[in-house]
Structure 1
Amino acid sequence: MAVNATGGIGPAALFTLPDARTANRQPGQDMSANVRVKRSAATLARQAEQSFAKGGAAAASQFASRRQYEKYERDTEINFARILDDDAIPKVEQLLRILNDGKLSQEPSLLSYARALFPDDSDLVVVLREILRRRKLKEAVGKALAALLAQVEAQADPQHLNAGINCALKARLFGQAHLDLAPAMLRGSYRRFLQSDRQSIEEYQEWISCYGHQYRSTILAFIEAALMADAYAATPSSGSVYGDFCGKLGQLRLIRSGDDLFMKQLISNEVIVGLNKSEPDWLIFLFSLLQSPEDIDEHLHYLLGEEFLLYRHHERSAILQPIFRTCRLLPHELFFCAETAQRMFRQFEYLAGLAYKREVIESRMNR
């Protein structure tokens, strides 16, 4: 189940793919639900202290960086809020120093140099606009920067450029609130969502594989906030605000309602809670159903395991019934194919009915 039929990320791979934050984890730091390593209280306490120290260091670094930016903004009147490059200040000074020294007078050389400093077009455009608006420049330097800005804007994809500019502030704010979320990564996720023609649930799976299932509601909130900021910006990334943006907003709300409904219905059921399945287990099951509902037998086997066959029939019925009821409540728009979803419901109904019939027989035999 690691790769789906279309070559995309399969549900089982969602919680094992490395990302920017997990790639450097040591084996002992694996957070998989299947890890069964017993750690002593002393080890756990030591890890907690290390985690706290690491988080405190990250926060202190961020606050120090923020104070540096605030001071530089006061001194130069350049606004860095929409620039997500971590080293924007020294890079701006480096660019201005090169221009003031009369170097890189040729336009192609200047463009290459500027792109090397700010690889993201949105960052580069905002930097150039801010310098031209706020700084007192030599006439030659001002003309060179204005020509550079015009060239970058002409070469950039308008939707990619404006989406990056319009969501940058939201990305920075969410990154400050959640230190594990890099603003530049959030911006990239928003751009891909905006330009993607994939099923919305595939985007959701990608966010979970990138940021972790524990951040999925935060990522949804960010994407929605970025979408609203983009729609109300002076230059929206899409020309069809009411069409494109409303459609994307509808996708986000459909994902949120489906996830919330599925999880809340299941974790409120005592029998389901007794299975001791983790949230990632249920998410894998949910995504498997949505992608290939016709394989319901396989998905149930993957979720419940061989031990399910050892349960008495009334126990099987008690497990299947709430799962079936919850799946019936899912918005049909979430499924990749409505027709196969209907076949899944019929198969689920058959399995639940069969379990109930055997439960009745079992009950009569035990009288």
Structure 2
Amino acid sequence: MLDVKNTGVFSSAFIDRLNAMTNSDDGDETADAELDSGLANSKYIDSSDEMASALSSFINRRDLEKLKGTNSDSQERILDGEEDEINHKIFDLKRTLKDNLPLDRDFIDRLKRYFKDPSDQVLALRELLNEKDLTAEQVELLTKIINEIISGSEKSVNAGINSAIQAKLFGNKMKLEPQLLRACYRGFIMGNISTTDQYIEWLGNFGFNHRHTIVNFVEQSLIVDMDSEKPSCNAYEFGFVLSKLIAIKMIRTSDVIFMKKLESSSLLKDGSLSAEQLLLTLLYIFQYPSESEQILTSVIEVSRASHEDSVVYQTYLSSVNESPHDIFKSESEREIAINILRELVTSAYKKELSR
């Protein structure tokens, strides 16, 4: 289940829908994606409205708690090691904390040796702050170390903390190290690449079969992040991040549409072309619409022995036609791609009829 004790600004129906995504089997990846598919556009709009409402509510929230907070799950969010190993490390740090005052360099070195990721270091220190009978000096020193770790990298640290539970859940589902997923979420929050490049990057890093799951992971991590005591972004930044996520979900919608087109065509039957290769071609068309003909050249060269050119061109034309318009930078770029593809279809049909 989605690890949110207080769903905060989100409706229970929205949280239930997201929990259903996490609990779905691998075979239901396409079904997950279709929750925001252009084939069911009202669902996509509902999701966008929920996110807009969430952002509005986030802006109006009160100041959050100070450094120590009231979290009791700091240790559960640590990703560096198995549970028993983490328990041992935390126990050793607690023992060292009681034996050393003031805290010396050895304590800090041990902390960084045990937990290499800054988010895990902060979580471990917060766990120590929950210890009873700490002196005022110990609290002050632990707080100072936390502030030193966070200084200049607060967004990255908080993003790593807030995505940790989801990284564990999805890491288990995808058979991936949760640290990789945490890095993925950080990259999404802090990165500045185009949404199509982001989708291509995830496709390359996590594989064709996991591409929809990664979008679900990022979405759920973002929800937890926004609803956390110490979010990674301010309201303005979250607005930008939400717009990126919505754009990526539009690309996933196009992905779903395209896969349905491929399933109903003959392009995948002889094995000369892979679904991943064909999807990448579509993504490149979204990025460089004026070069659509050149982008399709490599596909045509491979497919020509088994398929008519018109089948390839028509598949891409109908997919672009049915995809959300805002995938393109402008309506004019979309029209450029459609016009080029339409001309290619017409030309291919004429050649095939003249044989």
RMSD of aligned alpha carbons: 2.8
CA distance in 2, matches of 1:275, 1:320: 18
Shift in Å, 1:94: 3.2
Q: CA deviation at 1:338?
A: 5.4
Asked if residue 96 in structure 1 is aligned to residue 100 in structure 2, the reply is: no
**Quick one: structure 1 residues 330 and 292, their matched pair in 2 at CA, closer, same or farther if it must change by over 3 Å?**
same
Return the offset for 1:235.
2.3
Quickly say closer, same or farther: Cα 1:174–1:139, change in 2 above 3 A: same
User: Partners in 1 of 2:211 and 2:303 — Cα distance?
Assistant: 30
Structure whose CA Rg is larger:
1
Which stretch of the first structure deviates more once superposed, 143-152 or 285-294?
A: 143-152
Aligned to 2:339: 346
Q: Which one of 220, 224, 240 corresponds to residue 219 of structure 2?
A: 224
Q: Are 2:278 and 1:282 aligned?
A: yes
**1:138: how far off?**
6.3
d(CA) in 1 for partners of 2:213, 2:331: 29
Shift of 1:133: 1.1
Q: What corresponds to 1:187 in structure 2?
A: 182
SS at match of 2:267: helix
Aligned to 1:235: 230
What is the identity, as a one-letter code, of the residue corresponding to 2:210? Y
Q: Is structure 2 residue 170 aligned with structure 1 residue 174?
A: yes
Partner residue of 2:148 out of 144, 147, 151: 151
Q: Note the alpha carbon deviations across 1:298-345, whole angstroms, 9 max, x for none.
A: 32221132561x579xx3334432332122223343236654443332
Task: Name the residue aligned to 1:56.
Answer: none
Decide which of 308, 322, 326 is 2:315's aligned counterpart: 322
Kept after mapping to 2: 8 A contact 1:262/1:326: yes
Change in 2 beyond 3 A, CA 1:78/1:296? closer
Correspondence for 1:302: 298
CA distance in 2, matches of 1:307, 1:189: 34
Relative to structure 1, the CA distance from residue 139 to residue 101 in structure 2 (aligned partners, 3 Å threshold; closer, same or farther) is same
Residue-by-residue CA offset, 1:102-140 (whole Å, 9 max, x unaligned): 38734x554444233322222111111122114554666
Is residue 127 of structure 2 the alignment partner of residue 130 of structure 1?
yes
TM-score for the superposition, normalised by structure 2 = 0.69
Per the alignment, do residues 210 and 360 of structure 1 end up closer, same or farther by CA in structure 2, a change over 3 Å counting? closer
Distance 1:318 1:246, change over 3 A: closer
User: 1:31 is matched with which residue?
Assistant: none
Q: Which runs of 5+ in 2 are unaligned?
A: 1-71
- Pairwise CA distance, 1:215: 0.9
Residue identity opposite 2:103 in structure 1: S
Q: Tell me if structure 2 keeps the 8 A contact 1:171–1:186.
A: yes
Q: Counterpart of 1:282 in 2: which secondary structure? A: helix
Deviation string, structure 1 residues 247-275 (Cα, Å, up to 9, x no partner): 23312321221211121222222x33445
What is the total number of aligned residue pairs between the two structures?
279
CA distance in 1, matches of 2:278, 2:354: 31
Residue by residue over 1:211-267, the C-alpha shift from the partner in whole angstroms, topping out at 9 and shown as x without a partner, is 111111111110111011111112221111662343233123212212111212222
* Aligned counterpart, 1:82: 77
| Inter-partner Cα distance in structure 2 for 1:100 and 1:319 | 70
Match of 1:198, as an amino acid? I
Instruction: Check 1:354–1:110 CA distance in 2 against 1; reply closer, same or farther (3 A cut).
Output: same
Moved more, 201-210 or 116-125: 116-125
Matching residue's letter, 1:88: I
Are the counterparts in 1 of residues 290 and 333 from structure 2 also a CA contact under 8 Å? yes
Aligned equivalent of 1:254, options 230, 250, 257:
250
Q: Deviations along 1:61-118, whole A, 9 cap, x unmatched?
A: xxxxxxxxxxxxxxxx875221111142232233334333338734x55444423332
Identify if the C-alpha distance between structure 1 residues 301 and 172 changes in structure 2 by more than 3 Å, giving closer, same or farther. Answer: same
* Structure 2 residue aligned with 1:50: none
1:161 aligns with 2:157: yes
For 1:356, the equivalent position in structure 2 comes to 349
Paired position in structure 1 for 2:38: none
Runs of 5+ unmatched residues, structure 1: 1-76, 363-367
Q: Distance in 1 between matches of 2:100 and 2:168?
A: 34
Matched-pair identity in %: 28
- Give me the whole-angstrom Cα distance separating, in 1, the residues matched to 2:240 and 2:159: 13
Equivalent residue letter for 1:118: F
Q: 1:156 to 1:129 in 2, by over 3 A?
A: farther
Assess, with a 3 A threshold, how the Cα gap between structure 1 residues 336 and 88 changes in structure 2: closer, same or farther. Answer: farther
SS in 1 for 2:251: helix
Contact 2:196 2:248 in 1 (8 A): no
TM-score, normalisation: structure 1:
0.67
Conserved 8 A contact 2:300-2:309: no
Supply the AA of the counterpart residue of 1:129: R
Q: Deviations over 1:143-164 (max 9, x none)?
A: 53233234334x1422212211
Alignment of 1:32-51 (within 5 A): none
